[in-house]
A and B are shown apart, each in its own frame.
Chain A
Amino acid sequence: MSTTAPELRLPPSRHLTPPEVRELERTWSDRPGILGWLATVDHKHIARRFIVTCFVFFLLGGLLAAAMRMQLARPENDLLGPDLYNQIFTMHGSTMMFLFAVPVMQAVAIYFVPLMVGARNIAFPRTAAFSYWILLAGGVFLFVGFVLNIGPDVGWFAYVPLSGPQYSPGKRADWWAQMITFTEVSALLASICIIATVFKLRAPGMTLTRIPLFVWASLVTAFMILFAMPAVMLASTMLIMDRLIGTHFFNPADGGDALLWQHLFWFFGHPEVYIIFIPGLGMLSSIIAPFARRPIYGYPAMVLSLIATAFLGFALWVHHMFATNVAELGKSFFTAASMVIAIPTAIQIFCWIATLWTGKLNFRTPLLYVLGFFFILILGGLTGVMLASVSLDTQIHDTFFVVAHLHYVLIGGAVFPLFGAFYYWFPKMTGRMLSERLGRWNFWLFFIGFNVAFFPMHILGLEGMPRRVYTYPAELGWGTLNLVSTLGAVTIAVSVLLFILNVVVSLRRGALAPDNPWGAGTLEWATSSPPPACNFVDVPIVHGREPLWQPTRGPEYVTGLATHAREVLVTSVVDALPDQRLMQPDSTIWPFVSSLAVSAMFVGSIFNPWAIVWGAIPVAIALTAWFWPGREETRKALALEKAP
């Protein structure tokens, strides 16, 4: 990407001389060469890799989905056998959830949260780099397993006893469980970076009531990750221990219990849906304001709805277990909670409608994706309210109705906003505009293809077609609808190909993007496109929610940060009052090396539990080298030091 981007234009400074601006830029730039590339701690570079990597996994997951649709296109098809089909649907679900949906949302946050709050970099940049490398390692690990025929085949939620030692001998389920460890470590660490950035690195004046809604969404999501992901890590660790060292967590014969798995998994798994969905809501708010040419209506209601959604998201997990023997009273509680959560989402939708209604609309591709979101998400939300009813859920549990519902929610709620956000922010990331014409084709083919592919699944599910079967007999009469669904999948594939074409062509020949091509009001548009290594030559001072739409009053920028050291301004949590000049650590290869050491430990432990012990030694060495301060860096820090 960087080779084809237009030459960086350093924005003029209000108070630094041109040599000082160049020094500042040199200070924040990566060292040249492959080592410099591996050592980067620039949040923009990390996030760009993150986004590209997640998109590659999205394509791989999409190819797996296409293979399933081909197999199901006609009854009694023998394109894929049952064993391969099991692997493929497990790989598809696991890839889309753990290697695409969650990390891509965090990746966008890693790119844009620092820019939107006016920071020169993310907090804990080395940890952010490690988070990327460990996700990449986890994804490569999963697909290497698939290619070696040890790809997991137990479904993306790997229910015991199927995934336990008795019914899944071999390494396939271990592969799944350890992929979880990789991806969750990545997500948890990225969350800490995002939380610290939002709380402590905001530009002066950006009080909590002024931060952009996307930043709120990223913050709420990061907190959800902190409390949700530990559940799946604990569960997958218990599973792997049951399989490798003979514990009995899920073995009823020795006091264990299979439902414990479901409780722990869904205590993560349901918040997971909102972890994917809430960043999408933030993206929508970011897009709607400039494309309606007015601020979002009801900012406090929007923020409170995000927070309410996050809390309620933790009170729904049992609705995935209505077909089990949990107590009836419990089921009633979870039914009520599942219906209540529709309220904060509805509040946000009404606020967006109010914004669009009273705004002057600019019908470009990002806005099309927003409108597509409304249509699809509302359909998915309605089937969600249906599934919250125990009696109905028991009837259609594990059928294609659920497959239709979850794709309406996740593609409508997350992938459509994500594509919209991609069109919206691409100019900022690359300095080029995406083609509007290809964008419209991309959108309409996606929108139509999606509904053609997934709407028939509602009917198939109501007719009783179970999910996760590799074929079905012709007499059941499901052939036509399945064929229609496959044609829809082909349409989506064409649409995604057009998207890739659009990106490739626009990177080379797209119109040059000005700093603020959409006339938006948030800070990421205040710097050049693409932003310089230091993000902001002059750290801005904020006086309202849409800083670029407001008349300036009072101080406008910060002076006194070093140009020869990576100093960032730390501000207070609530009011964003200037608090500290913190020198950030330099670029370093150690997060990359640490990720290799940690990967070796994780992979080794599948084959021998002692690998945890021996593997910990290189991990400890790498982490120590990561932490150990360099003499040159310390000298620089001492020169700038001022005690509190």
Chain B
Amino acid sequence: MNDARAAVEPRRRRQRPAPADGTALDVRELPSYGFGDHSLMWWGTWGIILIEGTVFALAVMAYFYLRTRVANWPASVDYPGPLWGTINLVIVLLSAIPNVWAKRAAEARDLPDVRKWTWVLLAIALATIAVRFLEFKSLNVRWDSNAYGSIVWTLLGLHTVHLLTDAYDTAVLAVLLVTGPLEGKRFSDVAENALYWNFVVAAWVPIYAVIYIAPRVI
């Protein structure tokens, strides 16, 4: 790391300082990466969250719209079994804690801790995916049984896609954190990954409520 810095440092020093007549603004001492809204990736991640949050919201609206089309809901099938979904809710909510630790470790640029919590989060994501398969089995309806089955499978499927992509994303980061090459910007990638996982967590609460609670109360 230091060798590389030494090789390029003279080039930077060779650049003349800004003229002193006030016509220029020298930015060479500014940081080269940042966290939160300083980071461009934070904005990109929020863009993705807004898009996918809109998809979730519209799918939930479609659920309630379809509810108004029939007399009984769910029509001629059992309620979804709540056990595995509730277990997943607990796992996902608890995962927010190591997620915060991963983010803090990234902001402190504490590489060993960042590695540790990234692998922990990967394990949690894989566990939620495993439980998710059991959830699909306990829905008590097939996607092609009726419109209720279609929208329930779609809601659960949409959230599962997020679990899968985030698990893969986390896996790639976890490997990169071990093999390198690393630079400071990778810490902000970890922080952005934590932001995205927060979205996956936050999205699960209303979707859980719609899938498991709504049919029993409406």
Contact = CB atoms under 8 A, between A and B. Distances in A.
Interface of A: 14-15, 20, 123-124, 127, 188, 191-192, 195-196, 199-200, 204, 226-227, 229-231, 233-234, 238, 241-242, 245-249, 251-252, 254-257, 260, 263-264, 267, 541, 554-564, 569-570, 573, 578-583, 620, 624, 627-631, 634-644
B13 to A, nearest CB: 12
A642 B30 contact: yes
Given A257-B147, A640-B8, A644-B35, 17 more contacts: A199-B43, A204-B25, A227-B54, A230-B51, A247-B143, A247-B149, A249-B62, A249-B66, A256-B66, A557-B25, A558-B25, A559-B17, A580-B31, A629-B181, A637-B185, A638-B183, A641-B33
Contacts of B144: 245-248
A578 B33 contact: no
A556 B154 CA distance: 55
A643 B144 CA distance: 54
B150 A241 contact: yes
Given A255-B148, A264-B58, A639-B5, A554 B22 contact: yes
Interface in B114-145: 143-145
A619 B35 CA distance: 28
Among A204, A231, A564, chain B packs the most CB atoms within 10 A around the CB of: A231
Contact of B58 (A195, A231, A556): A231
Nearest to A192: B47
B184 A643 contact: yes
B32 A582 contact: yes
Contact of B29 (A570, A579, A642): A642
Given A196-B40, A559-B26, A639 B58 contact: no
A582 B33 contact: yes
A164 to B, nearest CB: 13
Contacts of A569: 27, 30
A200 B54 contact: no
B47 A579 contact: no
Contacts of A226: 47, 50-51, 54
A637 B18 contact: no
A556 B23 contact: yes
B109 A643 contact: yes
A629 B54 CA distance: 31
Contacts of A195: 43, 47
Interface string B34-69: 110110100110011011101100110010011001
Given A192-B47, A200-B43, A263-B65, A249 B147 contact: yes
Among B7, B25, B145, B153, chain A packs the most CB atoms within 10 A around the CB of: B25
A257 B44 contact: no
B183 A637 contact: yes
Interface residues of B, number: 69
7 contacts: A195-B43, A624-B172, A629-B181, A640-B32, A641-B33, A642-B31, A643-B184
B70 A556 contact: no
Contacts of A260: 62, 65-66
Contacts of B28: 559-561, 581
A196 to B, nearest CB: 5
A644 B59 contact: no
A644 to B, nearest CB: 4
A560 B183 contact: no
Contact of A559 (B11, B24, B172): B24
A395 B213 CA distance: 45
A245 B147 contact: no
Nearest to B54: A230
Closest 8 CB pairs of A and B: A560-B28, A639-B8, A255-B147, A246-B144, A247-B150, A192-B47, A634-B181, A644-B31
B95 to A, nearest CB: 22
B131 to A, nearest CB: 20
Contacts of B186: 629
Contact of B34 (A192, A580, A629): A580
Interface in B65-121: 65-66, 69-70, 75, 109
Among B7, B51, B66, B184, chain A packs the most CB atoms within 10 A around the CB of: B51
B30 A555 contact: no
Contacts of A644: 31, 33-35, 38
Contact of B27 (A14, A581, A631, A636): A581
B205 interface: no
Nearest to B173: A627
A555 B22 contact: yes
B202 to A, nearest CB: 17
Interface in B165-218: 168, 172, 176, 180-186
Contacts of B17: 559
B163 interface: no
Contacts of A251: 147
B182 A643 contact: no
B12 A255 contact: no
B168 A620 contact: yes
B66 A191 contact: no
A581 B38 CA distance: 11
A15 B16 contact: yes
Contacts of B31: 579-581, 642-644
Nearest to A200: B40
A638 B22 CA distance: 30
A582 B35 CA distance: 12
Among B7, B147, B148, chain A packs the most CB atoms within 10 A around the CB of: B147
A635 B4 contact: yes
Contact of A248 (B19, B146, B183): B146
B12 A257 contact: no
A267 B59 CA distance: 13
Contact of A580 (B5, B19, B30): B30
Contacts of B15: 20, 559-560, 563
A257 B15 CA distance: 67
A625 B128 CA distance: 26
Nearest to B71: A255
B24 A558 contact: yes
Contacts of A124: 40, 44
Given A249-B62, A256-B69, A639-B7, A578 B24 contact: no
A234 B59 contact: yes
B176 A188 contact: no
A632 to B, nearest CB: 9
A271 B31 CA distance: 40
A635 B3 CA distance: 9
B147 A256 contact: yes
A641 B184 contact: yes
Contacts of B40: 123-124, 196, 200, 570, 582
B24 A557 contact: yes
Contact of B32 (A247, A559, A581): A581
A195 B22 CA distance: 32
A566 B9 CA distance: 16
Given A226-B47, A256-B66, A257-B65, A561 B8 contact: no
B30 to A, nearest CB: 5
Contact of B25 (A196, A578, A630): A578
Contacts of A245: 143-144
Contacts of A560: 15, 18, 26-30
Contacts of A581: 27-28, 30-32
A642 B184 CA distance: 8
Contacts of A631: 181
A192 B27 contact: no
B199 to A, nearest CB: 14
A230 B58 contact: yes
Contact of B38 (A267, A579, A627): A579
Given A238-B154, A629-B183, A637-B32, A555 B54 contact: no
Contacts of A639: 4-5, 7-9, 12
